[in-house]
Amino acid sequence: QQQVKQSPQSLIVQKGGISIINCAYENTAFDYFPWYQQFPGKGPALLIAINPDVSEKKEGRFTISFNKSAKQFSLHIMDSQPGDSATYFCAAGGIRSSSGSARQLTFGSGTQLTVLP
């Protein structure tokens, strides 16, 4: 009920290509869907986020597509660059049933993206 499933586990893309990472959730109480980017030795940092009122959000080369009925969302990285090589985590925000009223993020397992020069 509380899981966020992320795929693929790893992804290799040529420079200039499109990177696509997919996530699925089960808890319909989730109402906030951020993506975090993590470089080796660093903490995750917010990349882009969407709420379920819209089906797509674009910020520069990064786009989130959101399908509420399917309970799926994805990150698209256009014109992928070597500097995009990092681990990407999707997350879903809301109240977990076990947390009472505390709003929290539940993270996916991560996708290690490598962009070849």
Partner 1 sequence: EAGVAQSPRYKIIEKRQSVAFWCNPISGHATLYWYQQILGQGPKLLIQFQNNGVVDDSQLPKDRFSAERLKGVDSTLKIQPAKLEDSAVYLCASSLRQGARNTIYFGEGSWLTVV
Shortest distance, CB of residue 30 to partner 1, whole angstroms?
A: 11
Two tokens, residue 23: 């996530």
Residue whose token pair is 């985590």: 89
d(CA 24, CA 37): 18
Output the furthest CA–CA distance in the chain (Å, rounded).
Answer: 47
Can you read off the two tokens belonging to residue 75? 């990150």
Question: Residue 35 or 84: which CB sits closer to partner 1?
Answer: 35
53 versus 117: smaller Cβ distance to partner 1: 53
Residues that bind partner 1 (CB under 8 A): 4, 6, 31-32, 34, 36, 41-46, 49, 51, 89, 91, 93, 96, 98-110
Using the minimum distance from each CB to partner 1, give the nearer residue, 66 or 89: 89
**From CA 90, how far away is CA 106, in angstroms rounded?**
9
Q: Provide the minimum distance between the beta carbon of 51 and partner 1 in the complex, in angstroms, as a whole number.
A: 6
CA 44 from chain center: how many Å? Answer: 12
Least gap, CB of 15 to partner 1 (angstroms): 26
